[in-house]
């Protein structure tokens, strides 16, 4: 068994700030030995710190290349042309924030990869709940998604364990799944979390980046409200009903599904929070990190009179794509 220490702030290599487009925030710090008494302590061994810095540098480089490949030139153009957005792919938590004690024993690196492989191979609906956290999805939806994997994403090429992480008290293990056969190549981030009994399972909704209702229904105007998983960065585009920058905070949004549905060059969507709202405060908390592109789960509302690619952010449900029982913005009510 590998040590069970957990990193705070799940952000796999980069993706809270943007990571592979199917996933990732920045890579959390690697764990060190568990003190064994359930307490927390600061790990300040020079060897440990040097190893952590090396691993962060390695994963930052790997995921920077991944992001550029998967998200494409359009996102980089956006980042480069917005002076207020800085693209950084490194962890931004201090050593003092590393949590050493875990409630449940983490799987080893090989075990984590094995759990993801097993979950992805399931084709019997009766076996789904033993290996997968369903969230709002059904066993039938999971089976359909897994069966369509090769046609949609390509063939699985390899799996890489990333790190143990902790977001809002939720333990996670991150495994990067890389596919081949599609251009640009596809990658997905598989998050494993334990159930109440300590059984580690794949979080399906974050892996599939589900939106409810679908992005197609939202963009086509068939629905006015949807829960979505997006890459998010600060922006400064104010016009139409959102023309007052003292009343609104603006964010640029990108998703894999919405990109596929919109014309090339028009994939960037905008989300707006009312100034001083719980949502704006939640966003401010997320953007206190050094990185400037994040994975966030939002509730969007299409408001009459807005541009088709402008939406009001009515809820910040999660500071990542894996949701905790309490919506993130409730902390700021």
Q: What is the pLDDT of residue 165?
A: 77
CATH of domain 215-332: 2.40.50
Residue 323's contacts (CB-CB under 8 Å, 6 or more residues apart) are: 135, 205, 297, 317
Mean pLDDT of 287-291: 83
Show the CA angle centred on residue 273, arms to residues 264 and 23, nearest 5°: 50
Tell me how far apart the alpha carbons of residues 70 and 259 are, in angstroms, rounded to a whole number. Answer: 12
Q: Where are the domains of the chain?
A: 46-208, 215-332
Q: Tell me if 229 sits within 8 A of 210, measured CB to CB.
A: yes
Residue written as tokens 């959390």?
28
- Neighbouring C-alpha atoms within 13 Å toward the C-beta of 40: 10
88, burial (CB in 10 Å: exposed 0-12, middle 13-18, buried 19+): middle
Neighbours of 288 (CB within 10 A): 8
Q: Give the pLDDT confidence of 224-279 residue by residue, as tens digits.
A: 999 999 999 999 999 999 999 999 999 999 987 888 888 887 889 999 999 999 99
Q: What is the pLDDT of residues 214-224, one digit of tens each?
A: 999 999 999 99
Whether pLDDT at 15 is above 50: no
Start-to-end C-alpha separation, the chain:
41
169 phi-psi bin (left φ>0, alpha ψ -120 to 50, beta other): left
The model's pTM is 0.71
- Checking if the pLDDT of 282 tops 90, the result is yes
113-151 pLDDT, tens digit each: 999 999 999 999 999 999 999 998 999 999 999 999 999
The 8-class DSSP code of residue 164 comes to E
Structure tokens at 227: 């829960």
């Amino acid at each position: 068994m590998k040590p069970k220490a957990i990193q705070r702030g799940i952000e796999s290599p980069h993706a809270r700030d943007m990571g592979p487009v199917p996933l990732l925030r920045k890579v959390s710090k690697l764990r060190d030995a568990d003190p064994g008494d359930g307490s927390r302590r600061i790990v300040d061994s020079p060897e440990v710190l040097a190893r952590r810095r090396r691993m962060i540098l390695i994963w930052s480089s790997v995921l920077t290349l991944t992001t550029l490949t998967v998200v494409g030139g359009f996102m980089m153009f956006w980042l480069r042309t917005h002076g207020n957005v800085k693209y950084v792919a490194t962890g931004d938590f201090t050593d003092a924030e590393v949590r050493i004690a875990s409630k449940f024993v983490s799987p080893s690196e090989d075990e984590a990869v094995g759990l993801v492989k097993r979950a992805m191979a399931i084709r019997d609906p009766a076996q789904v709940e033993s290996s997968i956290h369903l969230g709002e999805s059904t066993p039938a939806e999971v089976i359909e998604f897994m069966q369509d994997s090769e046609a949609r994403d390509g063939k699985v090429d390899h799996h890489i364990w990333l790190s143990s992480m902790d977001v809002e008290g939720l333990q996670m293990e991150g495994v990067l799944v890389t596919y081949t056969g599609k251009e640009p190549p596809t990658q997905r981030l598989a998050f494993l979390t334990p159930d109440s009994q300590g059984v580690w399972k794949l979080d399906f909704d974050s892996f599939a980046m589900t939106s409810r209702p679908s992005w197609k229904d939202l963009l086509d105007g068939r629905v006015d409200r949807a829960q979505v998983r997006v890459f998010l960065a600060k922006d400064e585009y104010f016009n139409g009903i959102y023309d007052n920058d003292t009343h609104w905070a603006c964010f640029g949004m990108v998703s894999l599904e919405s990109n596929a549905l919109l014309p090339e060059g028009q994939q960037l969507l905008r989300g707006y929070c009312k100034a001083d709202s719980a949502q704006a405060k939640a966003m401010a908390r997320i953007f206190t990190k050094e990185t400037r592109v994040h994975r966030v789960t939002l509730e969007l509302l299409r408001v009459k009179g807005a541009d088709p690619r402008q939406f009001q952010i009515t809820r910040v449900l999660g500071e990542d794509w894996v949701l905790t029982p309490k919506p993130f913005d409730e902390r700021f009510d």
